[in-house]
């Protein structure tokens, strides 16, 4: 399978079965890749889609796995919107100002169950040493929780969303933040 459709960055790392990992800021992505990443996140149907493009375009870093020129997995370190951080503080008491939010962990059907999500999360967080990171995960999403636990996060708080009718957990990588 050729790799000519997308100009690959220098830092690509082969991980398995002709897959490569990459990590870049949104403005460094090769043409068309942000569209593929957005489509993969939306197809996963695990997150609300109102702010997907907005958040991806303003992300701190985006990690992704390529098979040839096709994105098969992704995870993002987002610069969370101020109003979202305030809402989380009201719901959980956690002061997450200054944290990056890890999110949009998505693995294409046919590639799950191989540890790719875990490797991609680790790879992404290695690119942000010393940064404080949190992730919000639905409490019924055991697979995402397992990835987070394997990557060294801990459950810091829970909250219920009336909008979705679901309970969520806020997981923290590193020391727990102060509670209000």
Q: Is residue 42 part of a domain?
A: yes
Q: Is residue 8 part of a domain?
A: no
* Structural tokens at position 20: 């490569």
Q: How confident is the model at residue 162 (pLDDT cuts 50, 70, 90)?
A: very high
Domain limits at 105? Answer: 13-173
Q: Is residue 178 part of a domain?
A: no
Q: Is residue 80 part of a domain?
A: yes
Give the number of other Cβ atoms within 10 Å of residue 132's Cβ: 15
- Residue-level pLDDT at 19: 87
Question: Greater confidence, 119 or 7?
Answer: 119
* Structural tokens at position 21: 């990992």
Which CATH number characterizes residue 146's domain? Answer: 3.40.630.30
Q: Is residue 145 part of a domain?
A: yes
Question: Greater confidence, 51 or 85?
Answer: 85
- Residue-level pLDDT at 73: 93
Residue 159 scores a pLDDT above 50: yes
- Residue-level pLDDT at 6: 32
Question: pTM here?
Answer: 0.83
- Residue-level pLDDT at 8: 35
C-alpha distance across the termini of the chain, in Å: 53
| 31-52: average pLDDT | 81
| 81-94: average pLDDT | 95
Q: How confident is the model at residue 18 (pLDDT cuts 50, 70, 90)?
A: confident
* CB 121 within 8 Å of CB 105: yes
- Residue-level pLDDT at 7: 33
> What are the angstrom distances between the C-alpha of 161 and each of 32, 86, 92?
34, 15, 11
Counting the structural domains of the chain, the total is: 1
| 136-147: average pLDDT | 92
| 69-91: average pLDDT | 94
Q: How confident is the model at residue 175 (pLDDT cuts 50, 70, 90)?
A: confident
């Amino acid at each position: 399978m050729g790799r000519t459709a997308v100009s690959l960055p220098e830092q690509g790392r082969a991980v398995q079965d002709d897959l490569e990992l990459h990590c870049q800021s949104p403005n460094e992505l090769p043409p068309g890749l942000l569209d593929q990443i957005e489509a993969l996140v939306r197809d996963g149907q695990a997150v609300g889609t109102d702010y997907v493009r907005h958040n991806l375009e303003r992300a701190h870093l985006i990690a992704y796995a390529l098979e040839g020129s096709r994105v098969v997995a992704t995870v993002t370190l987002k610069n969370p919107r101020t109003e979202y951080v305030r809402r989380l503080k009201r719901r959980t008491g956690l002061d997450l100002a200054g944290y990056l939010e890890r999110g949009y962990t998505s693995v294409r059907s046919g590639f799950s169950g191989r540890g790719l999500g875990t490797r991609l999360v680790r790879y992404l967080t290695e690119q942000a040493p010393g940064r404080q990171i949190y992730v919000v995960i639905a409490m019924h999403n055991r697979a995402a929780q397992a990835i987070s636990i394997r990557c060294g996060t801990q459950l810091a708080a829970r909250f219920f969303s009336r909008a979705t009718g679901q309970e969520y957990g806020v997981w923290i990588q590193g020391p727990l933040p102060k509670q209000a």
